[in-house]
Amino acid sequence: MASNSAQINGSAISSDWRDRYFHIDQILDQPGPRTDPSFSAGDGVKDFLRNKCKILVIGAGGLGCEILANLALTGFKDIHVIDMDTIDISNLNRQFLFRPADVGKPKAIVAAEYVMKRVPGVKVTPYFGKIQDKDDDYYMQFNLVICGLDSVEARRWINATLVNLVDPENPESLKPLIDGGTEGFKGQARVIVPTISSCYECSLDMLNKPTTFPICTIANTPRLPEHCIEWASVLEWPRVHREKKLDTDDPEHIGWLYSVASVRAKEFNIEGVTWSLTQGVVKNVIPAIASTNAIIAASCCNEAFKIATSSAAYLNNYFMLIGTEGVYSFTFEHEKREHCPVCGGKSLEIPISRDWTVEQLIEMLTEKQTIQIKKPSLSTSTKQIYFQAPPQLEQATRPNLEKKVSELVEEGGEVIVTASTLPFHLSLVITYT
């Protein structure tokens, strides 16, 4: 009896594998009412999807786990995944590809192994490291890129990289980017066609106000309790503890930061430094809801399928989900920004007061919604104004922080802004009011 049962179950399992893509095949076997004119039904499009289309997933966290599983079950068979993190026990409530025994292991590697085990025939190639480790040739091999990231800097980097890849003489150099993001019960998915649709940089003004602060502000003129906490974590911790790494999950480390930040705040007559605020600032906590991840990942993979197969028109170009009070979603087209430093290619005119110091200009570049450059370095074609690194150059240019910009840059002069976190530079034309 047991033998017969096993045989029956085995037959059912084999049948399941054969029929896994039955519903996908129904979509691809014939055109539909919204099918792209270039759609070619039948074996050709199936062969491209399953044997030729190479897709990159960036991030293997809450969103990335859902995306990887969805892609494998949709018919994509050549998937690559990049993630620089290892698995923490706090991930297990929503990152369903991981188990308690996986804690401490690289997310990309564990996720790839799990998907390949559960969906035979799918190849998932992991890379445990940063997206910045890879060069242009690496990204050129993919047909599509999907981001499931929790980092604005990483999104900006891959967006600029894919825009810079585009060669008008080579259609294969255009790599559509699908970006997903979640925060609590809210989420968004978007399709970016580099140089054609608005890019990630175009929509920086839609982001929440940045929680990072200019190093010069936290070092010299703190005004907020967050400045004092950043000072304690960014400057004082490495000065006092040298090579010892700050562990934001260690209560003793958070306690030390809270104590030091409180003393700093008292010195500058600043109120509001609390234990919970200290923890929130240094951990940059973003709430994560499994159901939101599932919806946004499904939207991202749906767009990937449509782009890869031309079976329907892809999103133009933004989908928003709001689940805080009921469930509400809408789509809209986010237009390209004329002065976008990535896809616009034009200089940005910045009017400032003649009395502004270099330090004030840096603070504006950090906090302005449409720019948000973390730790910017400034120069002109003839002089170095202020550089964040290396230490010797930072020390040499530090006196310029207190100088007026008007002393260093003439009316209509161009200032080049760079940052280690971004693969592009921003050209500013300075005018005085």
Nearest to 109 by CA among 80, 138, 134: 80
**The domain boundary residue, chosen from 283, 300, 317:** 283
With a cut of 70, which residues of the chain have pLDDT below it?
1-18, 208-217, 285-286
The range of the structural domain enclosing residue 245 comes to 215-283
Instruction: Check if 228 is active-site.
Output: no
CATH number, domain of 375, equals: 3.10.290.20
Q: Please check whether residues 42 and 126 belong to one and the same domain.
A: yes
| Cα 90 to Cα 76: distance, rounded to the nearest angstrom | 30
CATH number, domain of 187, equals: 3.40.50.720
Q: Please check whether residues 159 and 268 belong to one and the same domain.
A: no
Q: What is the pLDDT of residue 343?
A: 86
Q: Please check whether residues 298 and 356 belong to one and the same domain.
A: no
Residue 385 contacts residue 408 (beta carbons within 8 Å): yes
Q: Please check whether residues 184 and 76 belong to one and the same domain.
A: yes
Q: Is residue 140 part of a domain?
A: yes
Q: What is the pLDDT of residue 39?
A: 83
Tokens of 65: 């786990």
Beta-carbon contacts of 157 under 8 Å, excluding residues fewer than 6 positions away, are 131, 132, 421, 422, 423
pTM, two decimal places:
0.77
- Which of the residues 199, 216, 340, 343 is marked catalytic? 216
Q: Please check whether residues 174 and 69 belong to one and the same domain.
A: yes
Nearest to 181 by CA among 157, 208, 152, 202: 152
Q: What is the pLDDT of residue 215?
A: 65
Q: Please check whether residues 148 and 128 belong to one and the same domain.
A: yes
Q: Is residue 269 part of a domain?
A: yes
Residue type, 240: V
Domain count, the chain: 3
Mapped to the 3 state alphabet, what secondary structure does the chain carry?
CHHHHHHHHHHHHHHHHHCCCHHHHHHHCCCCCCCCCCCCCCHHHHHHHHHHCEEEEECCCHHHHHHHHHHHHHCCCEEEEEECCECCHHHCCCCCCCCHHHCCCEHHHHHHHHHHHHCCCCEEEEEECCHHHCCHHHHHCCCEEEEECCCHHHHHHHHHHHHHHCECCEHHHCCCEEEEEEECCEEEEEEECCCCCCCHHHHHHHCCCCCCCCHHHHHHCCCCHHHHHHHHHHHHHHHHHCCCCCCCCCHHHHHHHHHHHHHHHHHCCCCCCCHHHHHHHHHCCCCCCHHHHHHHHHHHHHHHHHHHHCCCCCCCCEEEEECCCCCEEEEECCCCCCCCCCCCCCCEEEEECCCCEHHHHHHHHHHCCCCCCCCCEEECCCCEEECCCCHHHHHHHHHHHHCEHHHHCCCCCEEEEECCCCCCCEEEEEEEC
**The domain boundary residue, chosen from 226, 255, 283:** 283
Q: Please check whether residues 36 and 136 belong to one and the same domain.
A: yes
Tokens of 259: 């104590």
Q: Is residue 304 part of a domain?
A: yes
Q: Is residue 99 part of a domain?
A: yes
Residue type, 251: P
CATH number, domain of 264, equals: 1.10.10.520
Q: What is the pLDDT of residue 9?
A: 43
Q: Please check whether residues 62 and 26 belong to one and the same domain.
A: yes
Q: Please check whether residues 68 and 158 belong to one and the same domain.
A: yes
Q: Is residue 158 part of a domain?
A: yes
Q: Please check whether residues 164 and 308 belong to one and the same domain.
A: yes
Q: Is residue 343 part of a domain?
A: no
**The domain boundary residue, chosen from 283, 300, 316:** 283
Q: What is the pLDDT of residue 366?
A: 85
Q: Is residue 3 part of a domain?
A: no
Q: Is residue 235 part of a domain?
A: yes
Q: Please check whether residues 194 and 241 belong to one and the same domain.
A: no
Q: Please check whether residues 49 and 80 belong to one and the same domain.
A: yes
